[in-house]
């Protein structure tokens, strides 16, 4: 009996222990569930915060990309060439204007050594002033020349300055390139005009001083010729005197083309194609005398009307045609073409006349002198032809530009305002 009671008491103790264990487990499970809910809420909050941060980061990246694209568009839209070289001398930035000015493909430039790409080949003058990209970073402003394809020359204004980071440390060098070829041409034209104007004033003074005694000589020669009728050879001498006077008078008339303020020009509506035809017809004997010269005309299909003095315009065309023919003593091809182009002013148009020959061309050293009075490379010539052409075109509001390569020919481009019935002279 006593043993039975002992067993029952032991079972009761085990049950109590089991109940206590179950209660402890339930309490732990409740706490674990509470912690799990708190953890879920925390994870959810972190997810929301992370999603917010991701949105902000994405927005910042998009904004930075927009700014980057905006700056890139500005860089590519500049008319100034921009080249950036890092501390290793490698080209890192090369914009579209730099491509246009230098004629180089950006894909073949970026990542390449600046010294090999530019100084040695494109900037011959720069090479004499600085030795490498390391030296150009000190900051300089110079005018130099770029040789394109080994023949064409482009005038460039070049400036350099260091590129620094936010701490002021140098990280590279930037070069800006400005094409000043047109500015150089305008300067040359202005200098040419000033030179011709001064020469014209002097020519006018000399011409008036010489013409007075020439008139007397002509009068005496004519009288002498009448008095020497029947004396044969003596009368011929009087003819030679008159011929010499007329020759001098023609030279003086050419000199007076520099400045003739009192001359009345006979402006009228003229088709430039007809003017060229007349000049070609007049010079045909000279062109035909060399059977190896081929003359090709490529006129605009529509009439090209200008308001000008027909005789003066014929003189322009004739001078340029004869220059081209005389530049081809061994034969060649002369191409005369006309076109209608847009003018610089709004709603304006111009007539373009091109004369292209395959003659001897003009050396670079002589190109700056071709409009100078009395400069000529011909054995016989006064050197007044192009100077007179320049002045006649200036009277008509036109312009002339000549490009030439020695032994490869010359391209002469003449422009005149197109008459459209709006502006009468």
Question: Residue 338: what pLDDT?
Answer: 94
Question: Residue 131: what pLDDT?
Answer: 42
Question: Residue 158: what pLDDT?
Answer: 82
Q: What does the domain layout of the chain look like in residue ranges?
A: 1-77, 78-179, 185-256, 268-417
Let me know if the fold of 78-179 is the same as that of 268-417: no
Report the alpha-carbon distance of residue 221 to residue 237 in Å, rounded: 9
Question: Among residues 159, 180, 161, which one has the least CA distance to residue 171?
Answer: 161
Question: Residue 125: what pLDDT?
Answer: 47
Question: Residue 423: what pLDDT?
Answer: 45
Q: Which fold has domain 268-417?
A: Heat Shock Protein 90 (3.30.565)
Digit-coded pLDDT (tens) for 216-248 = 777 777 787 777 777 767 777 777 777 777 767
Of 3.30.450.20, 3.40.250.10, 1.10.1050.10, 2.60.40.1840, the CATH number of 78-179 is 3.30.450.20
Contacts 24+ apart (CB under 8 A), 297-301: 297/335, 297/336, 297/337, 298/335, 298/336, 298/337, 298/338, 299/273, 299/337, 299/338, 300/273, 300/338, 300/339, 300/340
Q: What angle in degrees, to the nearest 10, is found between the helix axes of 385-395 and 181-227?
A: 110
Prediction pTM value: 0.51
Query: Which parts of the chain have pLDDT scores under 50?
Result: 124-132, 258, 261, 288, 423-425
Total residue length of the chain: 425
């Amino acid at each position: 009996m006593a043993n039975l009671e002992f067993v029952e008491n032991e079972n009761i103790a085990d049950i109590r222990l089991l109940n206590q264990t179950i209660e402890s487990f339930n309490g732990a499970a409740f706490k674990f569930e509470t912690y799990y809910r708190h953890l879920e809420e925390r994870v959810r909050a972190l997810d929301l915060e992370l999603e917010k941060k991701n949105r902000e980061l994405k927005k910042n990246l998009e904004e930075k990309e927009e700014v980057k694209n905006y700056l890139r568009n500005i860089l590519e839209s500049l008319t100034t060439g921009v080249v950036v070289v890092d501390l290793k001398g490698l080209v890192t930035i090369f914009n579209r204007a730099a491509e246009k000015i230098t004629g180089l493909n950006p894909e073949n430039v970026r990542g390449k050594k600046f010294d090999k790409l530019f100084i040695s080949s494109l900037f011959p003058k720069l090479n004499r002033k600085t030795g490498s990209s390391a030296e150009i970073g000190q900051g300089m402003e110079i005018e130099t020349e770029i040789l394109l394809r080994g023949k064409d020359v482009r005038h460039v204004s070049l400036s350099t300055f260091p590129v620094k980071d936010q701490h002021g440390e140098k990280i590279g060098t930037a070069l800006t390139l400005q094409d000043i070829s047109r500015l150089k041409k305008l300067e040359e034209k202005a200098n040419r005009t000033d030179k011709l104007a001064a020469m014209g004033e002097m020519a006018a003074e000399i011409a008036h001083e010489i013409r007075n005694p020439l008139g007397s000589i002509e009068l005496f020669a004519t009288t002498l010729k009448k008095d020497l009728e029947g004396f044969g050879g003596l009368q011929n001498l009087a003819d030679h005197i008159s011929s010499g006077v007329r020759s001098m008078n023609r030279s003086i008339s050419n000199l007076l083309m520099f400045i003739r303020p009192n001359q009345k020009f006979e402006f009228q509506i003229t088709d430039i194609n007809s003017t060229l035809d007349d000049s070609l017809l007049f010079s045909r004997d000279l062109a035909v005398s060399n059977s190896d010269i081929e003359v090709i005309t490529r006129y605009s299909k529509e009439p090209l009307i200008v308001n000008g003095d027909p005789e003066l315009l014929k003189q322009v065309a004739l001078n340029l045609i004869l220059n081209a023919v005389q530049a081809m003593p061994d034969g060649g091809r002369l191409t005369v073409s006309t076109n209608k182009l847009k003018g610089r002013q709004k709603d304006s148009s111009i007539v373009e006349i091109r004369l292209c020959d395959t003659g001897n061309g003009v050396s670079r050293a002589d190109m700056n002198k071709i409009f100078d009075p009395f400069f000529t490379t011909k054995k016989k010539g006064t050197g007044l032809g192009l100077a007179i052409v320049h002045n006649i075109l200036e009277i008509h509001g036109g312009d002339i530009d000549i490009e030439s390569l020695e032994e490869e020919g010359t391209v002469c481009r003449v422009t005149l305002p197109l008459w459209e019935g709006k502006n009468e002279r």
